[in-house]
Amino acid sequence: MPVFDYMKQHPEDNECFLKMLKKHSKVVARQLLSVYDFSPFKHIVDVGGADGTLLIEILKSTPNVQGMVFDLPHVAEEAAKMIAENNLSERCKTAGGSFFDSLSVVGDCYILKHVLHDWTDEKCGEILRNVGKIMGPESKLLIMESILAPDDYDLQMIDFMIWIEADGKERSISDFETLLKSADFKISRLITIPPGKYTIIEAVLNK
Ligand SMILES: C[S@@+](CC[C@H](N)C(=O)[O-])C[C@H]1O[C@@H](n2cnc3c(N)ncnc32)[C@H](O)[C@@H]1O
């Protein structure tokens, strides 16, 4: 059974998964905010944003920005609770749906953090094209992932695990270039998130 279908059918395991993501995203958010300025944006959409932890931290540190967490309906419900607990319901909304269907969420910054590594190139192409369809020419896509290097045996181990677990894979920078090009994007910037485990691949539409 696909891993995210399993999570939907096993709420206790999903709760455990979301708790793990929350702890991870809290740490990564601090590191991310030390290198990336979100203040030029008006509306940030976190696609596959889980319980909203990352976006909540971004919004707390960037007061004039609005946000939206997009995830599967049962996960978006959890995000709505977290957003309310953080008194951000006025500035941050949620939407439940699938990124394999056409999206109707509008923003000038779209985040995909640790989403693409769950999927095959073909499925990633579908996600990227759906995001691309709703992006304006000035909008930015921020992909946050680890970048596979030939001597990174830890990530190669995760690559193997994620392939077994979800049919996904970790990718090298040239894999990302190829994937993005096939969905009509081009990389505009690469920013290493300290201490160096993750990278922001900033991309724009190739038009
Ligand atoms: C590995 S988690 C990453 C979550 C979050 N971005 C983070 O880094 O903590 C992948 C996320 O994609 C969501 N997801 C899986 N399939 C989805 C789909 N078809 N449409 C929307 N979201 C989906 C999951 O519910 C989960 O929140």
Residue pLDDT, tens place only, 106-155: 899 999 999 999 999 999 999 999 999 999 999 999 999 999 998 899 99
pLDDT at residue number 173: 97
Task: Give which of 100, 55, 61 is closest to 80, Cα–Cα.
Answer: 55
pLDDT at residue number 207: 76
What atom of ligand 1 comes closest to residue 21's alpha carbon? 9
Domain count, the chain: 1
pLDDT at residue number 171: 97
Q: Which domain holds residue 160?
A: 3-205
Cite the active site residues. 117
Residue identifier of the C-alpha nearest atom 18 of ligand 1: 98
Residue identifier of the C-alpha nearest atom 14 of ligand 1: 48
Q: With a cut of 70, list the residues of the chain below it in pLDDT.
A: none
**CA of 136 relative to ligand 1 center, distance in Å:** 23
Ligand 1 proximity of 113 Cβ (cutoff 6 Å): yes
The structure's pTM equals 0.96
Phi and psi at residue 49, to the nearest 5°: -85, 10
| Domain CATH number, residue 160 | 3.40.50.150
Ligand 1 proximity of 117 Cβ (cutoff 6 Å): no
**Inter-residue contact 127 to 103 (CB < 8 Å):** no
Ligand 1 proximity of 14 Cβ (cutoff 6 Å): no
Ligand 1 proximity of 49 Cβ (cutoff 6 Å): yes
Q: Is 64 buried (19+), middle (13-18) or exposed (0-12) by CB count in 10 A?
A: exposed
**Inter-residue contact 167 to 116 (CB < 8 Å):** no
**CA of 144 relative to ligand 1 center, distance in Å:** 13
**CA of 7 relative to ligand 1 center, distance in Å:** 11
